[in-house]
Amino acid sequence: MSIIMTGGGTGGHLAIIKAVKEQINSDKLIYIGSSMGQDRAWFGDDNQFSEKYFMNTRGVVNQGLLGKVKSLWLLSKATTQAYKILKKCDAKVVFCVGGFSAAPTSIAALIARIPLVVHEQNAALGSLNKILRKYASAFISSYEENSPIKSYPIKEEFFNTAKPRNGKVQNIFFAGGSQGAKAINNLALELAPWLKEQNISITHQAGEKNIEFVRNEYNKLNIEATVFGFTNEMASVMSGADFAIARSGASTLWELSANGLPALYVPYPYAASDHQYHNAQFLVEQNMAWIVREDKIDIEAVKKMILNSKEIKSRSQKLLKSIANDGNKQIASLLESYMIKG
């Protein structure tokens, strides 16, 4: 008997699997993903999975006609392969986090009548999860009131380093993600001289490809800043900051929330279904964050936010109450319950 985990392509999806799998005790935990995207980089050497499969698949959305035909052919072939794996491994439940690499195994689970548990990271549903939702044994979303599990699955370290901010900003964190975000990089550099005047230190995730350029720009401004592309110490980085300016991918948004770090979100404008905007808007509507479109950034308005100690303190306190630290444990327990039923 085994638990199958599938989905990914991007870090936002894969972070869910990583957080949940660490709470599962089964020695028959299997990962099925894609040879495309980041799946292999995340889990290729992960020994917690007793078996790992990376199939030749790619996304169907945003492809031309010939691209769609090829993608669907690869999907059909991979679904047959996934079905055989599920049967061979005596799968009792499939956990899907969405993304193109989840499609073959999720479809195979439905064909094989194996329970399918789906986790949706974003406020706007992904293309695959929209289809799977009505067939799933359980559909989990932190944005929906009737979700069986409301807490977002986040690694414990973001809660362990959480703290209420007192409102005074001494360190600001610019979070553009491991790939970087040009709009956030530009905003950081534009704000930097003023931040120096305010004695506010800068921590800046510029993206792996942008590190040298951003560092050089800070040097030209004669400003010291901690600049990096990727780190495994993100919880510590967040804990050291008093305010953040960030993209609003689901993992980043909920990690900042768990840490109690107030943020101005600048959504990636080309995200599917504009999901980054809707993610941030979910917090804004509860007065727990700020949001601005990248083409509407007002530098003076941003300065006022950073100096608004009352609102920063208030939002931090609300964020600390917005998410419990057991989302990953709850999902793990749900998945393990199917092993007992089996």
Nearest to 127 by CA among 271, 321, 315: 271
Question: Which structural domain, as residue segments, surrounds residue 134?
Answer: 2-153+325-341
Report yes or no: 164 and 318 within 8 Å, Cβ to Cβ. Answer: no
Per-residue pLDDT for 1 more than 70?
yes
CA 105 to mean position of chain CA atoms: 21
Mean pLDDT value of segment 289-298 = 97
pLDDT digits (tens, 9 = 90+) for 47-60: 999 999 998 775 65
| Residue 97 and residue 171 share a domain | no
pLDDT at 341: 72
CA 260 to mean position of chain CA atoms: 17
Distance spanning both ends of the chain, measured CA to CA: 8
| Residue 198 and residue 119 share a domain | no
In this structure, what token pair is assigned to residue 3?
A: 């638990």
| Residue 123 and residue 30 share a domain | yes
In this structure, what token pair is assigned to residue 236?
A: 């510590």
| Residue 127 and residue 79 share a domain | yes
pLDDT at 260: 98
In this structure, what token pair is assigned to residue 154?
A: 């986040």
| Count: domains in the chain | 2
Give the domain CATH number at 235.
Answer: 3.40.50.2000
CA dist 175 → 135, 150, 183, 269 (Å)? 36, 25, 11, 16
Per-residue pLDDT for 324 more than 60?
yes
| Residue 111 and residue 86 share a domain | yes
pLDDT at 67: 57
pLDDT digits (tens, 9 = 90+) for 188-222: 999 999 999 999 999 999 988 999 999 999 999 99
Per-residue pLDDT for 255 more than 80?
yes
pLDDT digits (tens, 9 = 90+) for 116-143: 999 999 999 888 889 999 999 999 999 9
How many Å apart are CA 329 and CA 327, to the nearest integer?
A: 5
Instruction: At 202, give phi and psi (nearest 5°).
Output: -120, 130
Between 191 and 145, name the one with better pLDDT: 191
Instruction: At 275, give phi and psi (nearest 5°).
Output: -65, -30
What is the share, in percent, of the chain residues with pLDDT greater than 70? 95
Mean pLDDT value of segment 12-27 = 89
Contacts of 35 (CB under 8 A, 6+ apart): 54, 55, 56, 57
| Residue 139 and residue 217 share a domain | no
H helices, E strands: number in the chain:
14, 12
How many Å apart are CA 336 and CA 342, to the nearest integer?
A: 10
| Residue 204 and residue 137 share a domain | no
Per-residue pLDDT for 70 more than 70?
no
| Residue 148 and residue 191 share a domain | no
Report yes or no: 13 and 113 within 8 Å, Cβ to Cβ. Answer: no
Please compute, for residue 64, the number of CA atoms within 13 A of its CA located in the half-sphere on the CB side.
1
How many Å apart are CA 128 and CA 106, to the nearest integer?
A: 9
pLDDT digits (tens, 9 = 90+) for 94-113: 999 988 789 899 999 999 99
- The mean predicted confidence, pLDDT, of the chain is 92
pLDDT digits (tens, 9 = 90+) for 275-291: 999 999 999 999 999 99
Our CA dihedral for 127, 258, 287, 16, rounded to 10 degrees, sits at 0
Q: Is residue 93 classed as helix, strand or coil in its secondary structure?
A: strand
In this structure, what token pair is assigned to residue 311?
A: 């609102």
| Residue 47 and residue 140 share a domain | yes
| Residue 180 and residue 105 share a domain | no
Find the largest Cα–Cα distance for the chain: 64
The count of other CB atoms within 10 Å of the CB of residue 301 is 12
| Residue 173 and residue 97 share a domain | no
Which pLDDT band holds residue 340 (cuts at 50, 70, 90)?
confident
| Residue 95 and residue 35 share a domain | yes
Mean pLDDT value of segment 299-321 = 97
For residue 274, the 8-state DSSP code is G
Per-residue pLDDT for 328 more than 60?
yes
Least confident of 168-182, 204-218, 254-268: 168-182
